[in-house]
Structure 1
């Protein structure tokens, strides 16, 4: 009763999505799971437990602090840290049994030195840059490490990986270029497992699967390939409580900056959610929006209700003029995204991506971990 919004997260759906991907790549390929950024905003601990229960044994996080939390939840799992070895942090990795994804010569040298100083052979991965130009070893440094037998004896190289820059764009010729570069360089480490594919890479086909795949957004029900209708199960449902119903005459501006003006006598529902809760401001309505780029919408009892005016920090308005008054009432909930409202579509209205919506989920929502109801999209009513 004290929350303005409700966030339902279906960890069974996350586990089911992982199982679908595992079956797609086949038994010979290790299907890992990316759970960085608090499991894409869904909660690291409950998501990790659900995935481990489904059979996932390898996880990827971005930072060692995430890995330390994850280790408590999945004591026997393999945990890779994608952002590599933070300077001076090797003891923390060792204590929590985290495997740094070494992305520079300096990181590889520091990890090797630490292992020698402790007289232990610890696990690590190498990240080869095949064109992302973000993290990763250059071709020259990759060859240098491959030729340095002393370094490779200091730690146990358990994975060689790279990352696709354009994997979500299925027709991009750069995918094939990266694949060719990766194949050429991973051969420098014979017998070492290899990984290239994220969620989108899995859908590019078996040539991209190698020994391990690392799905992320697909596990959480997001868009996998740009513009493709394929989705796995919906995982997240965000609902906002109606605080007040307002009757607004025609030709009256609404909200900050008087961004949108009513064109008719309008009934507005004021919702207890805003950009302070992770709902992006750009998704709101404005008179300056072109007719072919309408604002985002919610769903109230089967009725589509468009946002009206700017999204503010704690509040937003939706147009419920055509919704029966017994449904559009104080205390009712409006679905902002979930089974009936495609998150990727909402992200598009905000000129962003569903990754950002997920990882922006705020901490003021009442979080409920429970199965989601099947979508009622087939019966949605268009309200104008």
Structure 2
């Protein structure tokens, strides 16, 4: 296919090129210093425990390749991912030394991959334990492992009955270099929920039956329930990335992300103009509309239709109509004429409208928005 057919190659070579940030329709800025500060703050809250870091889902969508090394520089040496492939990728990023645990444990036939890449499986069932122990026995060596027990989520981990079966199976237990016994709280973001105390008591009871005194119960929110929930290791994830660990209390974490969308068109329209798909909105008076190149394909979810908004120079610009795949329409009528032009950046996530506030408008949680941020943003990492 011919392009620029009226220009010769020399003329094409002389055309000015632009930066990736200039070409991008939106900018996602990720503050690595804020992540490091959040890590150190969480370590201070659980000062008697090791503070690990959960970097699953590509560090909650923000890029494990940049974030995991920043956490290493902040002092972190223990990492958790969800899937085996995430563990293999993280090992390539971090090299030897750091401990990497895989929360979902080994699928049948993948046991050798854990050994090759120096990954510690979280064993969640008697079947996983049996297969991991069988991998260890022929060589007569004990393989590192973490055991997860279910204390009240009915999701991952051994039941009380499973623990009874396991402690009677000395051969399998002897094949494990048991590094940690862990469980997960279901309601830690609600400090007064009775499930927290019930899970704590059951975890202590189950832990006493197993031959490992190193235990872990608290993730991000659990750290703020108090020292009795800290044990020997805490596993923050979302709080590292700025999400509030307890929804009904002030957020102690530093914001990590700023999302800015670029205006691609500004137009003046009369009253009673239908806006967007389905004509779900109409202007009530002569209005100025700004179309911004961010949509649900970028993780700016459709449920923000008619609810969310953006900020420009301190002014709130509501979304009119539906969020499209690639764009939103903002009501910019309140701004002085000529102050918002194509190419300008509006703030979609920033300290004035943080991730949790935007998630509430969308009827979801900050975790979902954060991990949904798309690949079309130009990402810039800032650090001192």
Superposed pair shares fold, TM > 0.5: yes
1:323 maps to which residue? 335
1:32 maps to which residue? 52
2:363 maps to which residue? 351
Provide the aligned C-alpha RMSD in A: 1.3
Q: More deviation in 168-177 or 67-76? A: 67-76
Q: In the alignment, does 2:173 pair up with 1:146? A: no
| Structure 2 Cα separation of the partners of residues 273 and 124 of structure 1 | 43
Which is higher, the Rg of structure 1 or of structure 2? 2
Task: State how many pairs are aligned.
Answer: 362
1:95 maps to which residue? 116
Give 1:213-228 correspondences, 5 Å limit.
Answer: 213-228=234-249
Q: Which runs of 5+ in 1 are unaligned?
A: 286-294, 373-384
| Structure 2 Cα separation of the partners of residues 11 and 120 of structure 1 | 40
| Structure 1 Cα separation of the partners of residues 26 and 237 of structure 2 | 26
> TM-score if structure 2 supplies the norm length?
0.92
| Structure 2 Cα separation of the partners of residues 164 and 202 of structure 1 | 11
Give 1:39-50 correspondences, 5 Å limit.
Answer: 39-50=59-70
Q: Which runs of 5+ in 2 are unaligned?
A: 1-21
Q: In the alignment, does 2:318 pair up with 1:298? A: no
Q: In the alignment, does 2:171 pair up with 1:171? A: no
Deviation, 1:307, is 1.1
1:105 maps to which residue? 126
1:12 maps to which residue? 33
Q: In the alignment, does 2:213 pair up with 1:192? A: yes
SS in 2 for 1:83: coil
Q: Deviations over 1:291-333 (max 9, x none)?
A: xxxx112111221111111000001011111112343111000
Alignment counterpart, residue 349 of structure 2, candidates 307, 320, 337: 337
Q: 1:301, 1:327 within 8 Å by CA — same for their partners in 2?
A: no
Q: Deviations over 1:106-152 (max 9, x none)?
A: 00000000112344322110010001001111111112212322111
Q: Deviations over 1:175-218 (max 9, x none)?
A: 11000100000011244310000110000001100000000111
1:291 maps to which residue? none
Q: 2:179, 2:212 within 8 Å by CA — same for their partners in 1?
A: no
Q: In the alignment, does 2:92 pair up with 1:72? A: yes
> TM-score if structure 1 supplies the norm length?
0.92
1:310 maps to which residue? 322
2:5 maps to which residue? none
1:161 maps to which residue? 182
| Structure 2 Cα separation of the partners of residues 161 and 150 of structure 1 | 21
